[in-house]
């Protein structure tokens, strides 16, 4: 994919986000619209996008191999990201609550509301969505165990009670889609067109949702924290480039074959701006939700520049 095409896709996402911001500012959309859109995406359109894309794929040994590599590599990415987050939090001398949010946001990106639509646009056909869903599954295992515990070490929701939250519409859709792909089960054309069409609206709804979130923030308060810019630089620029060269080296040394789509998904998902869901979790579990919101806002704005940069680096140095 040419670099100009990539930039155009980022601009499209920015325009859609701006539409959400303007609609909220003009009071066309109320605060309640945000909750409705979030439920629509999480419970309806995204699961349909996953299952219709995966069910249309042909199961191959290459996909199986790439999927396994993506899962293992994702855990390594998260480990490195949280390690860098802990180091930078210490260097910045952040208080404990702030340090927790800083380190968690270093590894938890907006892989659903921004990552999925972007990857589906850049790599249509479904394979990128498969690897993105596997990436999300790994992130969820970490978020509902390590993440929740560190947000509030005293919480009673530990272990299996948190891991039960892995059973959600998206993981169910992933399992159904994988099963249909392996067994070569296809939706009838009428269902594929209607359900697939509804799933494709995820891009537009997700960007409107992010636009509303950005419209609800007070810009002056968002841009005052130095730690936010350190986090954004590490997460959006530094680490994605490190991962490009690190994984190319590791895969060559271990003689592992991974195709360009799977490799791109790993790098791009690692380069997503801070996860919006962590803002809600911080508020629920007593974390610093104000800092979490600042991280989300600033990193999302900066990602309009960083994502084209990472995509350019992938074009030049990727597999």
**pLDDT tens per residue, range 224-255:** 788 999 999 999 999 999 999 999 999 999 99
Whether the per-residue pLDDT at 122 is higher than 90: the answer is: no
Q: Is the pLDDT of residue 97 over 60?
A: yes
Q: pLDDT tens, 249-269? A: 999 999 999 999 999 999 999
pLDDT at residue 318, rounded to an integer: 79
Note the maximum CA span of the chain. Answer: 58
Residue range 15-53, pLDDT digits in tens: 888 999 999 999 999 888 888 988 898 889 988 988 998
Find the domain containing 266 and state its range: 3-317
Quote the pLDDT of residue 3: 62
- Per-residue pLDDT band at 99 (split at 50, 70, 90): very high
Query: How many domains, in total, are found in the chain?
Result: 1
- Is residue 101 predicted with pLDDT exceeding 90? yes
Candidates 137, 143, 131; CA nearest to 107 is: 143
Most confident of 37-41, 166-170, 189-193, 289-293: 189-193
CB 240 within 8 A of CB 84: no
118-127 burial: b if 16+ Cβ within 10 Å, else e: bbbbbbeebb
The CA distance from 106 to 194, in Å, is: 38
Lowest mean pLDDT: which of 83-97, 125-139, 142-156, 249-263?
A: 142-156
Mean pLDDT of the chain: 86
Average pLDDT for 104-130: 87
Return d(Cα 148, Cα 290) in angstroms, integer: 17
Which conformational region is residue 273 in: left (phi greater than 0), alpha (psi within -120 to 50 degrees), or beta?
A: beta
CA 131 from centroid of its chain's CA atoms: 12
The CATH number that applies at residue 236 is: 1.20.1530.20
The pTM of the full predicted model, rounded to 2 decimals, is 0.83
The CA distance from 299 to 214, in Å, is 11
Alpha-carbon torsion 56, 59, 64, 65, what sign?
Answer: negative
Report which of 227, 230, 234, 226 is spatially closest to residue 81, judged by C-alpha positions.
Answer: 234
In angstroms, the CA 311 to CA 319 distance is 12
Helix axes 46-55, 127-142, angle to 10 degrees: 130
């Amino acid at each position: 994919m040419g670099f100009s095409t990539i930039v155009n896709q980022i601009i499209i996402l920015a325009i859609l986000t701006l539409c959400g911001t303007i609609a909220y500012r003009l009071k066309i959309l109320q605060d309640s619209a945000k909750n409705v859109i979030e439920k629509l995406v999480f419970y309806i359109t995204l699961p349909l996008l996953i299952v219709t894309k995966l069910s249309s794929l042909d199961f191959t040994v290459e996909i199986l191999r790439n999927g396994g590599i993506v899962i293992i590599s994702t855990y390594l990415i998260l480990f490195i990201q949280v390690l860098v987050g802990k180091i930078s939090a210490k260097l910045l001398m952040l208080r404990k609550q702030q340090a927790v949010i800083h380190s968690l946001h270093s590894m938890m990106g907006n892989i659903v509301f921004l990552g999925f639509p972007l990857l589906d646009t850049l790599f249509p056909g479904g394979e990128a969505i498969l690897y993105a869903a596997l990436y999300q599954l790994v992130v969820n295992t970490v978020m509902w165990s390590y993440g929740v515990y560190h947000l509030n070490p005293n919480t009673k929701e530990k272990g299996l009670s948190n891991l039960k939250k892995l059973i959600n519409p998206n993981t169910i859709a992933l399992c159904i889609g994988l099963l249909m792909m392996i067994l070569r089960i296809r939706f009838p054309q009428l269902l594929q067109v209607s359900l697939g069409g509804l799933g494709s609206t995820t891009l537009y709804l997700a960007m409107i949702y992010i636009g509303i979130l950005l419209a609800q923030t007070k810009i002056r308060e968002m841009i005052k924290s130095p730690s936010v810019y350190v986090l954004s630089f590490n997460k959006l620029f530094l680490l994605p480039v490190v991962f490009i060269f690190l994984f190319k080296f590791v895969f060559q040394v271990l003689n592992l074959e991974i195709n360009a789509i799977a490799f791109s998904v790993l790098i791009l998902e690692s380069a997503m701006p801070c996860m919006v869901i962590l803002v809600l979790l911080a508020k629920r579990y007593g974390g610093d939700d104000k800092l979490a919101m600042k991280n989300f806002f600033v990193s999302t704005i900066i990602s309009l520049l960083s994502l084209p940069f990472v995509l350019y680096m992938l074009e030049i140095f990727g597999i």
